[in-house]
Amino acid sequence: MSDSLKWFAFMSYGVGHVLNDLVASMWFTYALVFYHYVMQLSSINAGAVVLVGQLTDAVATAVIGVLSDKTNIYCTDRYGRRKTWHLFGSVLVFISLPFAFSPPILPQAETSELNTALYYCFFIVFFQIGWASIENSHMALASDLTPIRDERTALLSIRYSFTVFSNILVYVVTWIVLRSNNASKTQFGPSERKEFQVYITLIFYLIVILVIMIVGAMTTIIFHIGVREPLTNNRVNRELLMTETEAERAANSFWSMFKHITLYQTAVVYMCSRITVNMTLVFLPMYLQDYLKLEAEKLALLPLIMFLSSFCMSLLNKPMNMKLGRKYTYSFGVVLSLGSALWCYLGSGNTFAKYQVYAVTIIIGIACSVVLVTSQALTTDLIGDKTHRGAFTFGLMSFTDKVCNGAVVMTVQSLHCETCPNYYRDIMVYNWTIPSILAFIAVISLPFGGRPTLTVPEVPEMHSSSGNQHPDQSKKQPIEKGQEALPSYAVNS
């Protein structure tokens, strides 16, 4: 493949997750704001709606991971198993998402708070199944497309760059709409329910219909045209299953993964990284709204600044991983996260709310970019060349992070103290410290992820017809740093 075709394939892969990124930006940033402040659900019921979505996502991700790896149907095998599940998830998201972020279309849904919560849970279940299908298939495809470690890192970096673009697009549209009406200098509150329901519904309709539907459809089409899933993986995996011994089959099975401690270490790193990123999106608007008492437009402006800094950092993720290795790169993200938590805890007053909060937001944006991309790269290292269980592995990682994210949201909302002015400030501090410390302990104990080294493999002996070995063929041929393929024993290392 030429360099131009290769980069087109890489860019096509990167846009394949844009639909999910637009949805995730809406979900994690504005779900609680919408259900609690606009639809007037209580803190516990709003948290319960988010928890139902997270649990559905967790279960669906694990189940779809198994089905994506094990199900072999002729039509899907020809088109690509990962791409087929991606297409299935896209259709579900397009159908169900508009109903999850708009006023109920059924009058019975507003007769009681419980009916309203159940109404939204019904559509959220479907859209989370679709979201999980897209995420799992897209992440697993990174391991299928190339066995080279730093090419996988490049794929994940490009993917994250488009994640940032997607979030920026959502926040720009939200900020413009908020600036265009009287809500820009006001806070969201129950006393203005009808007025703000109009504003928020307008925001959601603009984002859902114009951005998600149009941009999501375009990028999904580009992904399915530009990415050609290696169909040889499916055939080779079936041939291996037919020829391997019982011991080899047991070693390559899904359940054999649970015998290795590296699986649990990587899961902790992935889970904690996701908690740091996702819970920042969830509780940053609440922190700005309840603690700093900022106007409504800042609920879009500050997350926008955070993702701009994340985008700048995403350009450096690949070279940092190549030069420093996974462990040092991840440790850099942990230091930034802890520094943000300390600044947030000590910062107070008008100066912090007007100026310093921007610097904190920039730093946490950089930290989120580093820890998320590096944790995904560590997961691809764990998979190695066992791509026949790549979706199952990512399903396990996502299962842990979705369950924990839902539990955190539910816990925070159920313990919400109306008379505690520092409540959401403390939540942000805990979110940036506890997961970071746990992930740091897990990542430094991993047997892989250190600095990359030059590998000089032995070239197998080649004998000519006369029986004499060519003198150049006995020499070791060095491989360029970062171009080495991952070993098949990555899980066992």
Residue 473 falls inside a structural domain:
no
Please tell me whether residues 64 and 193 are part of one structural domain.
yes
Residue 246 falls inside a structural domain:
no
Q: Higher pLDDT residue, 247 or 12?
A: 12
Residue 492 falls inside a structural domain:
no
Please tell me whether residues 222 and 112 are part of one structural domain.
yes
Please tell me whether residues 207 and 277 are part of one structural domain.
no
pLDDT in tens, 51-102: 898 889 888 888 888 887 776 655 566 778 888 889 999 999 999 888 888 7
Please tell me whether residues 78 and 136 are part of one structural domain.
yes
The residue-averaged pLDDT of 168-187 equals: 65
Please tell me whether residues 226 and 309 are part of one structural domain.
no
Q: Evaluate if residue 489 carries a pLDDT over 80.
A: no
Residue 20 falls inside a structural domain:
yes
Q: How many CB atoms sit inside 10 A of residue 189's CB? A: 11
pLDDT tier, 341 (very low <50, low <70, confident <90, very high otherwise): very high
Please tell me whether residues 404 and 267 are part of one structural domain.
yes
Q: How many domains does the chain have?
A: 2
pLDDT in tens, 315-330: 888 889 888 888 999 9
pLDDT tier, 187 (very low <50, low <70, confident <90, very high otherwise): low
Residue 324 falls inside a structural domain:
yes
Residue 320 falls inside a structural domain:
yes
Calculate what percentage of the chain has a pLDDT beyond 70.
76
**Lowest pLDDT segment from 143-147, 202-206, 479-483:** 479-483
Please tell me whether residues 22 and 80 are part of one structural domain.
yes
Please tell me whether residues 23 and 172 are part of one structural domain.
yes
The residue-averaged pLDDT of 178-199 equals: 53
Residue 281 falls inside a structural domain:
yes
Please tell me whether residues 397 and 288 are part of one structural domain.
yes
Structure confidence at residue 457 (pLDDT): 44
Please tell me whether residues 213 and 290 are part of one structural domain.
no
Q: What is the mean pLDDT of the chain?
A: 78
Looking up residue 216, the CATH number of its domain turns out to be 1.20.1250.20
Residue 292 falls inside a structural domain:
yes
3-state secondary structure the chain: CCHHHHHHHHHHHHHCCHHHHHHHHHHHHHHHHHHHHHCCCCHHHHHHHHHHHHHHHHHHHHHHHHHHHHCCCHHHHHHCHHHHHHHHHHHHHHHHHHHHCCCCCCHHHHCCHHHHHHHHHHHHHHHHHHHHHHHHHHHHHHHHHCCEHHHHHHHHHHHHHHHHHHHHHHHHHHHHHHHCCHHHHCCCCHHHHHHHHHHHHHHHHHHHHHHHHHHHHHHHHHHHHHCCCCCHHHHHHHHHHHHCCHHHHHHCCCHHHHHCHHHHHHHHHHHHHHHHHHHHHHHHHHHHHHHCCCCCCHHHHHHHHHHHHHHHHHHHHHHHHHHHCHHHHHHHHHHHHHHHHHHHHHCCHHHHHHHHHHHHHHHHHHHHHHHHHHHHHHHHHHHCCCHHHHHHHHHHHHHHHHHHHHHHHHHHHHCCCCCCCCHHHHHHHHHHHHHHHHHHHHHHCCCCCCCCCCCCCCCCCCECCCCCECHHHHCCCCCCCCCCECCCCCCCC
Please tell me whether residues 73 and 190 are part of one structural domain.
yes
- Domain housing 375: 254-450
Please tell me whether residues 179 and 259 are part of one structural domain.
no
